[in-house]
Structure formats: structure tokens, C-alpha cells
């Protein structure tokens, strides 16, 4: 009797799987935030919706950041080994959350958000959740789920431009559709690759795959190698690595600028994060096979990105090609499969966040203020009208080109160092050559802002010319700054200033960033 009761009690006592909620908490904050934002979209008051939803989004991002920091120093596998909470995923989480917060601020007054139903922020948070999942994924199923969770909201986001200008609306929808179709091809390729690797090794877990590859001749098995090839292509697509980059300029140009900023920064962080973990943990044994292939892809990417960016008149297209080139630089850190390489890549990702956020924020301001949209001409004379904004853009361009005393220099230095000590000196040379070409499109932006005047130049006070540059005393006589047209956008300017300040600060004092990424190398177990 008592035994029967005991058995009954035992069967009633629900035994769920053990869930490490602490490890999952940043993800929960993001996805929970998405749900809350959607619900808040039902509030009747329009003003409350317009400002409440982004506030909620920011709060959930803040919570995610706080929880990430709470987890700092953790090194554990959760959800039956599907996810890994370690230095790599935590650092990248922080970068992602920062990029997300920047995007929310950029989108606050955008045309898409004017509908004020909050979908934009909900989609953004969902996509961030997918990214957070992706950088922590350590089995191929979680990887794929993360990738899709990242991508599907993005397809929609690209098509959310509700601008009153018809061709912009159409562009936006076109870009969303393009992204969807090409994205589907990319996802399919990746899935094939995953399936083949599973077929060859019988494992989905990264460590199990690594173990399978280390035994016997599996690392040179055609099935495995085809799988790796397809995975590389699929992930390269997300990171916009050439020749899988072609969607990038079109989608970046067509999507609403805040979304473009988000794609440029956050998607790249997630894609390179997963590339690092997948290739440096699961496929580390096959590095002799994929190293040269990825190095070749990196070279093609650097060349195509830099060459393609030359002569673009649309800032967003130019930045799209520039992001292709930057992906090529960062791929160098993956190629070498060393702790140094992993650290350099993550360092560059953080740097990249600052540099690109500043650039896109300034583009957005000009887009709202002038009729010229995101064209290069819209920036003409910005130096005189809005010196702080022009300064932010200048810092961003110089940092992207890798000029010393900006974070871009430290990042490139780190990557080149990693490439050289990993035995890929020629790849370091390619990075330098690419940076040289890149000046050809970054510097015209700076020149446009400071050297082209929208109004006539200040009249000289006397006849004899200045011989060694101008002087501030003469500039006194110049016209006062022209008042900016369009709605005031203090929060966008704030993003630009903060990001530029970060790019300079970490360029002069890079040590905190070095310290931040220090643990990343050790997190990927098998690296030397």
C-alpha cells in the first residue's frame, strides 16, 4: 500500500529537466523584452506607444547587459550542452546589446516607428535574441536555430520603411525580399553542410564533431570536407564575405538606415562569433584544409569590398562595401585558428561597433535633414554647420581606415599581428594593401564635410593670401552656422558622439578593450 502510494507520489512529482536559468538569463531578457514590447504596442495612447515601446526595449537591453555582466567569468555549458556561456559569448553579448541600444535610439523617430505599434523593436529584440543564441551555440542544431531566429525578423525589418517617399518604400520592400530569397539560399547551403557533417561524424555537438575528426582519417574525408565547404559558404553569406556578399549593397541601401546600422554591426558580430566558435572548436582538426580556403575568401573579400566601395555616391552603399572589406579583415583572425586570432577578431568586432555606429548615425541625421538622402553630397559643408557631427563622422572614417590614435588602428594592428604570427604574413600584407585602397573612399567623405562649403567661402579681409593654411582669426568673419533644417534629433547625435568618443578613447587607451577580450582566446579550448 505504502509502496504503491510512494510510486504514485513519485510519478506525480514532476521532474522537469534541469535548466540553468542564470546562464540563459540574458537571452530571456531579450526575448521577454520582445514580448513585452509587443504587448505595450496595444496601449491606446499613441504618445505612450511611441515613447514607451523604445523605452521598454532599452530597459530590456539594459537588463540583458546587466545579466551578461552578472554572468561574467562563467564558463559552462547549458541546455544539455547546446549553448556555451563563456568569455566569447559574454563579450559578444555585450557588443550586441550595445549595438541594439544604439539601433533603438536611431530608430526612435524613424518613419517605421511612427506607426508606433512597437513591432520594430520587438523584431529587433527577437533578432538580437537569435544573435545571442548564435554566439553561444555549440551544437549545429542550436546554431541553425539561432541563425534563423536572427534572420527572419531581419527580413521583415528591412521592409519596414514607411517613408512618405514612394521609391524609398519600394526600395525597402525590394531589399527585404532580396534578403529573404538570398538568405534562404544561404540557410539551405548551411543546412546541407550541417547535414553532411552529421553524416560524416554522426554528431551535432561541436566537441563531439571535433573528437570524431581527430580520430582516423575523417578530417580528409570527402563528405566531411564538402560539409565544411557548404557550412563555410552558408556562414560567409551571413558575414557578407565575397563572393557571397552581393545582397549586401542592395539590402543596406534599401533598408531603413537604423536597420542598416543594426545589420552592419550586429549581424557581423553574430556571424563572426559563430564562425570563430564553429571553425576553431568543432572543425579545428581540419584547419589545414579550411585555413587556406578561408584565407582565399578573406583576400577576395578585402579586394572586392575595397574596390567596390570606390566611387560610390550613396553613403549606405559605400558603407556596405566597406563592411564587406572589414569582414575580410576579421576573417583573417579566424583563419589563423589561434588564441591571438580569436582575441583580435573579437577586439575588432567591438571596435567595428563604435566606428560603424557613428557613421550610420551621422548618415541618418543628414537623411532626415536634407533632401539629398544618404548621398555623399548631403554631407557637404557639415563641418561648418555641425562641427560635432562632422567630427564624429571624421573619427569614424579615419578609424575605419585604421589611422593611429583611433580604435581602428589598434584593431588592425592586432589582426595583422595575429595573421603574421599565425603563419599568414601575406594575409597581413593584403590587409595593409586593402587599408591603403580604403583611404580612397573614406577620405573623400572627410573632404566633403570639411572642404566643400554649402555656402560661399568666407570673404577674405585683405588682399595678400595666406601661405601656411588659414588661421582661426580670419574664420571669425565667416558666416554663422546655418540652422539645421528638419526635426531635431538629439538622440541620434548622441549615438554618433558616444560612438566616436568610444572610437577615440579606445584608440588612445586601448588597454580596457584588450583586457575585455583577453579571456576570449582561452575560452576556445583547443587553441594554442
Partner 1 sequence: MATTTWGWLVLAFPLLGTLSVAAGYRRLPGRSAGWIGTASVLLAFIASIGALLSLQGHVPAHRELVSSLWNYASTVGIDAQMSILVDPLSVFMILVVSGVSTLIHLYSISYLQDDRGYARFFSYLNFFVFAMLLLVLAGNFLVLIIGWAFVGAASYLLISFWYRRTTATRAGLKAFVINVVGDVGLVLGTYFIFKHTGTLDLLRTFHSAGAPVAFGAHHNHGDLVAGCVLLLVGAFAKSAQIPLHAWLPDAMEGPTPVSALIHAATMVTAGVYLIARMHVLFELAPAAQDVGAVVGAATLLIAGTIGLAQTDVKRIIAYSTMSQIGYMIMGVSVGAYAAGLFHLMTHAFFKALLFMAAGSLIAAMAGEQSLDRMGGFRRALPFTYGSFLIGGLALSGIPPFSGFFSKDEILLVTGERGGWHWALYVIGYMGAALTAIYTFRLIFRAFHGEPVPAARELEAGTPHHGAPSNPMTGEPEDTDVGFPGPTHTIAERALTMRVAMGALSVGAIGAGLIQIPKVDFLVTDFLRPSFADTSLYEPHTRNGLLVLGLVLGAALGLAGIALAYRLWVVRPGSAAAIGARLRPLWDLFVHKWYFDELTDALIVKPALRAGSFAQSTFERLFVDETLIGGTTALVRAGSAAVRAAQTGFVRYYAALLLVGVSGVGLYFLLQS
474, 491, 522, 526: residue in contact with partner 1 (rule CB under 8 A) = 474
Q: Of 181 and 455, which CB lies nearer to partner 1 in the complex structure? A: 181
Closest among 130, 182, 177, 122 to 151, alpha carbons compared? 130
Question: Cβ(199)–Cβ(223) under 8 Å?
Answer: yes
Site size for partner 1, by CB under 8 A? 58
24, three cell numbers: 540563459
- Kindly tell me the sign of the dihedral angle through the C-alpha atoms of 525, 429, 355, 510: positive
C-alpha cell belonging to residue 294: 578561408
Q: Is 472:456 a contact under the CB 8 Å cutoff?
A: no
* SS3 of residue 137 by DSSP: strand
Contacts with 101 (C-beta within 8 Å, 6 or more apart), sequence order: 58, 61, 62
By the rule CB under 8 A, 459 interacts with partner 1: no
Please choose, out of 59-67, 175-183, 349-357, 395-403, the segment that lies near partner 1 by the rule CB under 8 A: 175-183
Looking at 1-9, 88-96, 226-234, 447-455, which segment touches partner 1 (CB under 8 A)? Answer: 226-234
Nearer to partner 1, 39 or 508 (CB): 508
User: Contact with partner 1 (CB under 8 A): which of 465, 480, 483, 490?
Assistant: 465
User: Cell triple for residue 18?
Assistant: 534541469
163 binds partner 1 (CB under 8 A): no
As a whole number of angstroms, the distance between CA 301 and CA 242 comes to: 5
Binding to partner 1 by residue 140, rule CB under 8 A? no
The answer to the question of residue 431 lying near partner 1 (CB under 8 A) is no
Q: Look up residue 10 and give its three cell numbers.
A: 513519485
| Three-class secondary structure of residue 370 per DSSP | coil
178 binds partner 1 (CB under 8 A): yes
One symbol per residue from 248 to 277: x for binding partner 1 (CB under 8 A), - otherwise; what is it? Answer: -xx---------------------------
Q: CB nearer to partner 1: give 340 or 497.
A: 340
Contact between residue 23 and residue 71 where contact means Cβ atoms under 8 Å apart: yes
Q: Which C-beta is closer to partner 1: that of 317 or that of 366?
A: 317
**Dihedrals φ, ψ of 83, to 5°?**
-120, 155
- Name which of 410 and 493 has its Cβ closer to partner 1: 410
What is the rounded distance in angstroms from the CA atom of residue 166 to the CA atom of residue 180?
Answer: 21
Rg (CA), the chain: 24
Q: How far is the CB of 361 from partner 1 (least distance, A)?
A: 25
Judged by CB, which is closer to partner 1: 101, or 271?
Answer: 271
Q: Is 244 in the site for partner 1 (CB under 8 A)?
A: yes
- The contact set with partner 1 (CB under 8 A) reads 178, 181-182, 185-186, 189, 220-222, 225-226, 228-230, 232-233, 237, 243-244, 246-247, 249-250, 289-290, 293, 296-297, 303-304, 307-308, 310-311, 321, 340, 410, 414, 417, 437, 461-462, 464-469, 471-474, 476, 508-511, 514
Amino acid at each position: 500500500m505504502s509502496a504503491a502510494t510512494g510510486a504514485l507520489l513519485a510519478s506525480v512529482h514532476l521532474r522537469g529537466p534541469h535548466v540553468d536559468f542564470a546562464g540563459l538569463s540574458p537571452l530571456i531578457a531579450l526575448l521577454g523584452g520582445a514580448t513585452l514590447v509587443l504587448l505595450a504596442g496595444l496601449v491606446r495612447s499613441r504618445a505612450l506607444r511611441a515613447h514607451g515601446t523604445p523605452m521598454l526595449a532599452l530597459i530590456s537591453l539594459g537588463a540583458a547587459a546587466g545579466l551578461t555582466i552578472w554572468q561574467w567569468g562563467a564558463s559552462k555549458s547549458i541546455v544539455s550542452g547546446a549553448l556555451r556561456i563563456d568569455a566569447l559569448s559574454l563579450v559578444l553579448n555585450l557588443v550586441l546589446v550595445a549595438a541594439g541600444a544604439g539601433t533603438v535610439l536611431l530608430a526612435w523617430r524613424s518613419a517605421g516607428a511612427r506607426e508606433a505599434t512597437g513591432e520594430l523593436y520587438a523584431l529587433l529584440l527577437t533578432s538580437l535574441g537569435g544573435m545571442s543564441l548564435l554566439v553561444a551555440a555549440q551544437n549545429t542544431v542550436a546554431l541553425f536555430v539561432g541563425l534563423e531566429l536572427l534572420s527572419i525578423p531581419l527580413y521583415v525589418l528591412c521592409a519596414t520603411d514607411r517613408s512618405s517617399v514612394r521609391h524609398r518604400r519600394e526600395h525597402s520592400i525590394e531589399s527585404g525580399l532580396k534578403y529573404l530569397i538570398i538568405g534562404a539560399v544561404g540557410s539551405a547551403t548551411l543546412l546541407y553542410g550541417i547535414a553532411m557533417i552529421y553524416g560524416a561524424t554522426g554528431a551535432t555537438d561541436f566537441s563531439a564533431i571535433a573528437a570524431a575528426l581527430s580520430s582516423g582519417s575523417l578530417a580528409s574525408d570527402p563528405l566531411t570536407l564538402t560539409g565544411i565547404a557548404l557550412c563555410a559558404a552558408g556562414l560567409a553569406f551571413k558575414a557578407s564575405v565575397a563572393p557571397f556578399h552581393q545582397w549586401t549593397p542592395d539590402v543596406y541601401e534599401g533598408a531603413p538606415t537604423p536597420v542598416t546600422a543594426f545589420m552592419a554591426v550586429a549581424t557581423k558580430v553574430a556571424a563572426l562569433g559563430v564562425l570563430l566558435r564553429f571553425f576553431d572548436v568543432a572543425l579545428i582538426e581540419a584547419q589545414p584544409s579550411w585555413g587556406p580556403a578561408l584565407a582565399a575568401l578573406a583576400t577576395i573579400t578585402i579586394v572586392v569590398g575595397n574596390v567596390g566601395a570606390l566611387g560610390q555616391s550613396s553613403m549606405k552603399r559605400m558603407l556596405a562595401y566597406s563592411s564587406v572589406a572589414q569582414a575580410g579583415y576579421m576573417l583573417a583572425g579566424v583563419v589563423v585558428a589561434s588564441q591571438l586570432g580569436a582575441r583580435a577578431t573579437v577586439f575588432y568586432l567591438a571596435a567595428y561597433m563604435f566606428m560603424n555606429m557613428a557613421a550610420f548615425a551621422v548618415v541618418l541625421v543628414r537623411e532626415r535633414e536634407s533632401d539629398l538622402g544618404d548621398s555623399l553630397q548631403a554631407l557637404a559643408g557639415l563641418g561648418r554647420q555641425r562641427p560635432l557631427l562632422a567630427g564624429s563622422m571624421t573619427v569614424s572614417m579615419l578609424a575605419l581606415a585604421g589611422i593611429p590614435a583611433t580604435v581602428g588602428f589598434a584593431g588592425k594592428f592586432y589582426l595583422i599581428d595575429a595573421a603574421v604570427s599565425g603563419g599568414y604574413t601575406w594575409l597581413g600584407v593584403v590587409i595593409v594593401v586593402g587599408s591603403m585602397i580604403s583611404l580612397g573612399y573614406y577620405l573623400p567623405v572627410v573632404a566633403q564635410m570639411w572642404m566643400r562649403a554649402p555656402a560661399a567661402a568666407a570673404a577674405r579681409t585683405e588682399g595678400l593670401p595666406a601661405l601656411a593654411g588659414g588661421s582661426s582669426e580670419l574664420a571669425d568673419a565667416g558666416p554663422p552656422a546655418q540652422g539645421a533644417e528638419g526635426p531635431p534629433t538629439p538622440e541620434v547625435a548622441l549615438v554618433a558622439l558616444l560612438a566616436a568618443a568610444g572610437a577615440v578613447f579606445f584608440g588612445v587607451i586601448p588597454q580596457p578593450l584588450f583586457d575585455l577580450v583577453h579571456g576570449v582566446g582561452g575560452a576556445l579550448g583547443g587553441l594554442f
